[in-house]
Structure 1
Amino acid sequence: MDVWKNIKLVNYINILSGFAFNSDFFTGEEGTPLIRIRDINKRNTDINFSGKFSDKYLIKKGDLLIGMDGDFEVAQWKGENALLNQRVCKIESNDKNRLNQIFLFYRIINEIKLINNIISATTVKHLSTKDIDNIQVNLPPIDEQTKIAAILSKTDKAIEQTERIIAKYQRIKTGLMQDLLTKGIDENGNIRSEETHEFKDSPVGRIPVEWNAVYMDEILYNIEAGKSPNCIDVPAGSGQWGVLKVSAVRPEGFQSEENKVLENSNFINPKYEVKDKDLLITRSNTYDLVGIVCLVKNPPPNLLLCDKTLRLIINKNKSSVDFIFYVLQMPFVRSQIEIHATGSSGSMKNISQETIRHLIVPRPEKTEQTNIYKILNKIDKYIKDEKKQLNKMRRKKTGLMQDLLTGKVRCLNLDLPD
Structure 2
Amino acid sequence: MSLVTPKKGYKSVPWLFGKKIEIPDEWEVKSIKELGEIVTGNTPDTTNNEYYHSDFLWASPIDLQKEKYVKQTNVMVSKKGFSISRKIPKDSVLVVCIGSTIGKIGIASVEMSTNQQINSIICNENDSHFIYYQLLHNNYLIKNIANQSAIPILNKTEFGKLKLFIPTKITEQQKIATILSNVDNLIESTGMVITNSKKVKKGLMQKLLTQGIGHTKFKKVPWLFGKDIEIPEEWEVKKTDDIFDFLISGTNARSDLNDVGEIHYIHYGDIHTKWNNELNFDSEKTPRIDKEKVSRLPLLKEGDLIIADASEDVEGSGTSISLKNIKNKKIVAGLHTLVLRRKDETISFEFMKYLTSISYVKIQITSWVTGAKVFGLNKKSCKEIKVPLPPLSEQQKIATILSNIDSKIESQEQYKENLQKLKKSLMQKLLTGEVRV
Matches within 5 A, 1:379-390: 379-390=405-416
What is the CA deviation profile of residues 105-152 of structure 1, one whole-angstrom value per residue up to 9, with x for unaligned ones? 000113333332454656543333233212112222323222211111
Provide the residue aligned with 1:141 in structure 2. Answer: 168
Question: Is residue 400 of structure 1 aligned with residue 429 of structure 2?
Answer: no
Q: Deviations over 1:155-213 (max 9, x none)?
A: 11111111111011011111111111121102xxxxx5xxx543425427332233223
Which runs of structure 2 are paired with 1:6-405 in the superposition (5 Å)? Answer: 6-23=29-46, 24-25=48-49, 30-42=54-66, 43-52=71-80, 53-54=82-83, 57-58=86-87, 62-68=91-97, 69-77=99-107, 82-95=112-125, 99-117=126-144, 119=146, 121=148, 123-142=150-169, 143-186=171-214, 192=215, 197-203=217-223, 205-220=229-244, 222-229=245-252, 232=255, 235-237=258-260, 240-250=262-272, 252-253=275-276, 257=285, 259=287, 261-263=288-290, 265-269=291-295, 272-288=298-314, 289-298=316-325, 301-343=329-371, 346-405=372-431
Report the Cα distance in structure 2 between the residues aligned to 1:360 and 1:81, rounded to whole angstroms.
Answer: 55
The CA distance in 1 between the partners of 2:342 and 2:300, in whole Å, is 15
Whether the 8 Å contact between 2:100 and 2:152 is mirrored in structure 1 is yes
Question: How far 1:294 sits from its partner (Å)?
Answer: 1.6
Structure 1 SS opposite 2:353: helix
Q: Which amino acid aligns with 1:71?
A: T
Q: Compare 152-161 and 120-129 and name the one that shifted more.
A: 120-129
Aligned length: 394
Q: CA deviation at 1:79?
A: 5.8
Cα distance in structure 2, aligned partners of 1:233 and 1:147: 50
- Residues 230 and 184 of structure 1, relative CA distance in 2, 3 Å threshold: closer
Cα separation, 1, equivalents of 2:122 and 2:95: 11
Deviates more, 1:115-124 or 1:394-403: 115-124
Q: What is the deviation of 1:234? A: 5.6
SS in 2 for 1:22: coil
Bigger mean CA offset, 74-83 vs 347-356: 74-83
Per-residue displacement from partner, 1:290-317 (whole Å, max 9, x unpaired)?
Answer: 3211233446944432132232112342
Amino acid at match of 2:73: T
User: For the residues of structure 1 that align with 2:383 and 2:406, how far apart are their CA atoms?
Assistant: 27
> Counterpart of 1:223 in structure 2: which amino acid?
F
Aligned mates of 1:115, 1:360 — CA distance in 2: 54
Matching residue of 1:189: none
- Gap regions ≥5 residues in structure 1: 187-191, 413-418
Secondary structure at 2:404 match in 1: helix
Query: CA contact under 8 A between 1:203 and 1:213: conserved in structure 2?
Result: no
TM norm structure 1: 0.83
| Other structure's SS at 1:31 match | strand
Q: 1:396 to 1:91 in 2, by over 3 A?
A: same
Q: Cα RMSD between the aligned structures?
A: 3.0
Partner SS state of residue 70, structure 1: coil
Letter in 2 for 1:246: Y
Per the alignment, in what secondary structure is the counterpart of residue 206 of structure 1? Answer: strand
Higher strand share: 2
Secondary structure at the residue paired with 1:158?
helix
> What do the CA deviations read for 1:56-111 (whole angstroms, capped 9, x no partner)?
6456665422223222253434766654234233223122xxx2211100001133
Q: Deviations over 1:262-315 (max 9, x none)?
A: 34x423549644554332111233234332112334469444321322321123
Q: Do 1:275 and 1:298's aligned partners in 2 also have CA atoms closer than 8 Å?
A: no
3-state DSSP class of the match of 2:138? helix
Contact 1:71 1:116 in 2 (8 A): no
1:233 shift after superposition: 5.9
Is the contact between residue 341 and residue 349 of structure 1 (CA under 8 Å) also seen in structure 2?
Answer: yes
